[in-house]
Amino acid sequence: MDWPYWGDVMSDSGPPPRLSPRDFSVQPAALSPAYRSSRLRAPERKLVALPGQLGDLTGPAFGHDLPGAADHDLIHNFAAAGASALGPRIIVHGTLRDESGRPVPDALIEVWQANAGGRYRHKNDAYLAPLDPNFGGCGRVITGADGSYSFLTVVPGPYPWPNGGNDWRPAHIHFSVFGTAFAQRLITQMYFEGDPHIALCPIVNAIPDKGAIDRLTARLDMGRTVPMDMRAYRFDIVLRGPDATMFENGTGG
Amino acid sequence: MSDRLIESASQTAGPYVHIGCLPSWAGIDGIYPEDLGATIAGPGARGERITLKGRIFDGAGEPLRDSMVELWQADAAGLYQSPGEYRGAADPDFRGWGRAATDADTGLYRFDTILPGAVRSGGVTHAPHVALWIVARGINLGLHTRAYFAGLPENAADPVLTLPELAGRVDTLLAVRDGGTWTFDIHLQGGRETVFFDV
Ligand SMILES: [Fe+3]
């Protein structure tokens, strides 16, 4: 089978390379008491280290024929013919790489979000803001050969949630990302530059590292803006990558 | 390496993960033809058909009713349907990956699949097992665990089940058989807390 990704660190007859150990200092703690839902759902015992197992270094692949023609266009993919979703129109784009800096091609990225008023199309969301009949709230893309992706949507609204009594989520888009290894599997959220709710959010603040929060914050990208049509935000994503020591062999370390 | 990047931080999948990952289940039809991960084993897949089901309990003993579980496993011959599989070609009608929501009323997740084969890799034989990955509101970083199959002879020599640090906790990794159905309940906290892995 063709194996373009990581191709220079593996052969056809050998196992995929191990991943670098996960750096938990840039990941949210399982228990983050200010985020109340974590109190009863965070495991109390230490994770058991199980590195380098084939079942975790393999994973499902998704082809470029998976997404339909409108899957990347949340402005239109649920809208009636000739209609479009309400709200500020944006392009969200970026590159999916691994920790070694290699682009991750052919990877499935799924996104979901509230509408421009902050309301999700979900039976459990009873927020006062109305549903937009022309907005479903999900989309998906497959990364290109250079790891790039882009999709079209509207800026989601901030919304209140039952946590501490008066908590508001910053505007955000949820991302589900596949690499080539099941151990790379990632779900995260993208925030918007300049949103004052980011610093106030208990879910965001489960992440102990300021830089890690900053890297989840998309930047306005005027270079990709379409004049008189839509603004652009850039959001780059990094998955775990092969162990650095595998690259130091033969290069003098 | 100075140009090494840093893994993006995880964030909770939240209570509405279904919108993005199982939209038809969430009642959002007409965007995708079907939800991904519904078919793990096609009609022609080799092996013994099984159902794997269970619930995920929080620290108060309540089943999660808003979570999502993904499954990844080898085929009946122990081969993965993946570009990273180097030992041979997996069963062409076997996908090996599944995705399910826990039921909004009962909290049950359910996968219809086949009993995986033992995985022989790196000179070691791993007892038949499926990897599970759990995301939900309140879970900040997706949880990796494994379901092994109680009573299979390969379990006795499995390199994971025999890890000294799992002493007294191995039961939490064993699915229990009732006919063609295997039950694997997961406990996030407490005395029966399931073993979760840093893979
Ligand atoms: Fe959300």
Q: Does residue B100 sit within a domain?
A: yes
Quick one: which of B91, B54, B69 has its CA closest to B144? B69
Concatenate the DSSP letters of all residues of B26-94 into one string: TT--SSSSS-TTS-SB-TT--S-EEEEEEEEE-TTSPBPSS-EEEEEE--TTS--SSTT--S-PPPTTB
Residues of B in contact with A235 (CB under 8 A): none
- Residue B58 dihedral angles phi and psi, to the nearest 5°: -85, -175
- The two tokens of residue A9 are 């660190």
- Residue B156 dihedral angles phi and psi, to the nearest 5°: -60, -30
A238 touches chain B (CB under 8 A): yes
Residues of chain A with pLDDT under 50: 1-4, 7-11, 248-253
Domain that holds residue B32: 17-187
Of A76, A102, A119, A169, the catalytic one is A169
CB-based burial, B103-131: b 16+ in 10 Å, e otherwise:
eeeebbbbbbbbbbbbbebeeeebbbbbb
Q: What is the pLDDT of residue A245?
A: 73
CA distance B100 to B184: 14
SS3 A83: coil
Q: What is the pLDDT of residue B3?
A: 79
Q: Beta partners for A148?
A: A95
B39 touches chain A (CB under 8 A): no
Kindly state the DSSP code that residue A61 receives in the 8-state scheme. Answer: -
Q: What is the pLDDT of residue A14?
A: 83
Interface of A with B in 143-172 (CB under 8 A): none
CA distance B64 to B113: 22
Give the per-residue SS3 of B135-199: ECCCCCCCEEEEEEECCCHHHHHCCCCCCHHHCCCHHHHEEEEECCEEECCEECCCCCCCCCEEC
Are A185 and B141 an interchain contact pair (Cβ–Cβ within 8 Å)?
A: no
| Burial of A89 (C-beta count, 10 Å sphere; 0-12/13-18/19+) | middle
Q: Does residue B152 sit within a domain?
A: yes
Number of domains in chain B: 1
CA distance A110 to A80: 22
Query: CA torsion sign, A184 to A188 to A194 to A196?
Result: negative
A249 touches chain B (CB under 8 A): no
Q: Does residue B35 sit within a domain?
A: yes
Tens digits of residue pLDDT in A28-78: 999 999 999 999 999 999 999 999 999 999 999 998 999 999 999 999 999
CA distance B113 to A67: 25
| A-chain residue closest to B135, CA distance | A187
Q: What is the pLDDT of residue A6?
A: 52
Q: Does residue B77 sit within a domain?
A: yes
Compute mean pLDDT per 10 residues along chain B, 199 residues long, and list them: 86 98 96 97 98 98 98 98 96 98 98 98 94 98 98 97 97 97 98 98
Q: Does residue B2 sit within a domain?
A: no
Tens digits of residue pLDDT in B123-135: 899 999 999 999 9
Fold classification of A6-12+21-238 (topology level):
Protocatechuate 3,4-Dioxygenase, subunit A (2.60.130)
Q: Is the ipTM of this complex over 0.95?
A: yes
Q: What CATH number does the domain containing B44 carry?
A: 2.60.130.10
Q: CA-based diameter of chain A, in Å?
A: 61
Quick one: which of B173, B179, B133 has its CA closest to B149? B173
Q: Does residue B12 sit within a domain?
A: no
Q: Catalytic annotation on A191? A: no
